[in-house]
Amino acid sequence: MTKQPDKIKRRTTVTREPKTRNGVTAVILFGLVAGMTGLAFASDPLYRIFCKVTGYGGTTQVAEAPAKSKIVDQMVTVRFDANVNKLLPWQFKPVQNTIKVRLGEQAIAFYEATNVSDKPIVGTATFNVAPFKAGEYFNKIECFCFTEQVLKPGQTVQMPVTFYVDQSIIKDRNTVDVKSITLSYTFFASDDQSEAEKLQTTQFITDEKDTIISREVVPKG
């Protein structure tokens, strides 16, 4: 009877040891994943690379023009959405609301932006697609979002985006049900307004010269 507690203690020790090891392993793995994710989110360039590679958050891919041999007859509807940050005095909208394209087929759509302020402004666009899982297969060839846009006061421009939806989307069991994709952009004022400031300075100098010239041709007396 006196040895029974010892046996119980030994059994308890044996059964708890694997749990302890598993727990330590889980903590270490969680720490590594959390650290890598935190680093990616903390660094904007790393975060962008992470999104482009994985399609995370509906981030689209950048690609060359597709091969014609990869075009299939299955259609997908692409919807277009436009938003503007409240701190940017621009109007922004898609020229077309939806288009239908064959998978693998190159297509082009246009967005329109107007600077409704009284000064030049540099704008930059962020983008994603919905559903997010389609981001891996939505490929942009050319896009206004690849560069910053400078608009003069009152200027309106139409900006193209050339894209295709990879036909591999129907081979992925997670995306085979996708029949409609929404491409969404949001314009923000760029942190770097140096190009707008240069444009404004050039315009000011030009206006000053025009004013001086106009004064010179006014008859005296």
Cis peptide before 131 (omega within 30 of 0): yes
Let me know whether 10 and 119 are in one domain: no
Same structural domain, 86 and 12: no
Rounded Cα distance, 154 and 17, in Å: 72
Pairing mode, if any, of strands 75-84 and 156-165? Answer: unpaired
Residues 51-76: what's their mean pLDDT? 64
Q: Going by C-beta distance under 8 Å and a sequence separation of 6 or more, which residues neighbour residue 55?
A: 61, 132, 133, 134, 135, 136, 137
For residue 118, is it within any domain? Answer: yes
Residues 11 and 85 in one domain: no
Say if residue 193 is in the same domain as residue 156: yes
Q: Within the chain, what is the greatest distance between any pair of CA atoms?
A: 129
Same domain membership, residue 119 and residue 12: no
pTM of the model: 0.66
pLDDT the model gives residue 54: 43
105 and 165 both lie in a single domain: yes
Question: What's the confidence (pLDDT) of residue 41?
Answer: 42
The DSSP code for 191 is S
Q: Is 208 strand, coil or helix? A: helix
Do 32 and 65 have their domain in common?
no
- Tally the domains of the chain: 2
Does 220 have pLDDT greater than 70? no
Dihedral of the CA atoms 35, 124, 90, 42 (nearest 10)? 10
Q: Are residues 111 and 38 in the same domain?
A: no
Instruction: Give 107-138 as a 3 state SS string.
Output: EEEEEEEEECCCCCEEEEEEEEEECHHHHHHE
Query: Does residue 63 carry a pLDDT above 50?
Result: yes
In a domain, 53, yes or no: no
Q: Which residues pair with 186 in a beta bridge?
A: 83, 126
pLDDT tens figures, 9-26: 455 444 445 555 555 555
The overall average pLDDT reported for the chain is 77
Q: What is the pLDDT of residues 162-191, one digit of tens each?
A: 999 999 999 999 999 999 999 999 999 999
Domain residues for the domain of 117 are 58-199
List the 107-115 sheet strands across, edge first.
61-62, 138-143, 156-165, 107-115, 90-94
Mean pLDDT of 145-159: 96
Same domain, 107 and 172: yes
What contacts 116, CB < 8 A, 6 or more positions away?
89, 90, 91, 154
Is pLDDT of 32 > 70?
no
CATH number where 183 lies: 2.60.370.10
State residue 200's pLDDT score: 80
Same domain for 79 and 104?
yes
pLDDT exceeds 80 at position 109: yes
